Amino acid sequence: MALFTNQKEVNRAIKAAVDQYHRWEETMRYEYTVTKEGGETEVMKAMSWKKLFKSLLIKYPKFNGWCSYINKKGHQQVKNFREGKILRK
């Protein structure tokens, strides 16, 4: 753990940590639009579909709604959920 001698060093360290977090957040590859059954929408960022799926179910274990995104080839994808499981066609 670092010991700081004055408030200026503390502020500089906090700013460096916040900047590092923003750089990490910008590296997220895809943006997913998550829509709940009631119509509420939320934008979530993740590096892959599997990582979003995992974080979505941690946040909302019995999620009902759909998730849409544009894949790496530029095609729109939509996944539907019922009780936390993907509905297959």
Q: One digit per residue, pLDDT tens: the chain, 89 residues?
A: 567 788 988 888 889 888 887 777 667 678 899 999 999 999 998 888 899 999 999 999 999 999 999 988 889 999 999 999 999 86
Q: How many Cβ atoms from other residues are within 10 Å of residue 52's Cβ? A: 21
| DSSP secondary structure letter of residue 13 | H
Q: Cα(22)–Cα(2) distance, rounded to whole angstroms?
A: 22
Domain assignment present for residue 80? The answer is yes
87: left (phi over 0), alpha (psi -120 to 50) or beta: beta
- Whether 53 is covered by a domain: the verdict is yes
Domain count, the chain: 1
Say if 15 falls within a structural domain.
no
Residue 83 lies in a domain: yes
The pTM score is 0.64
In this structure, is residue 12 part of a structural domain? no
Q: How far, in Å, CA of 41 to CA of 29, rounded?
A: 20
Name, in order, each residue with C-beta under 8 angstroms of 2's C-beta and a sequence gap of 6 or more.
13
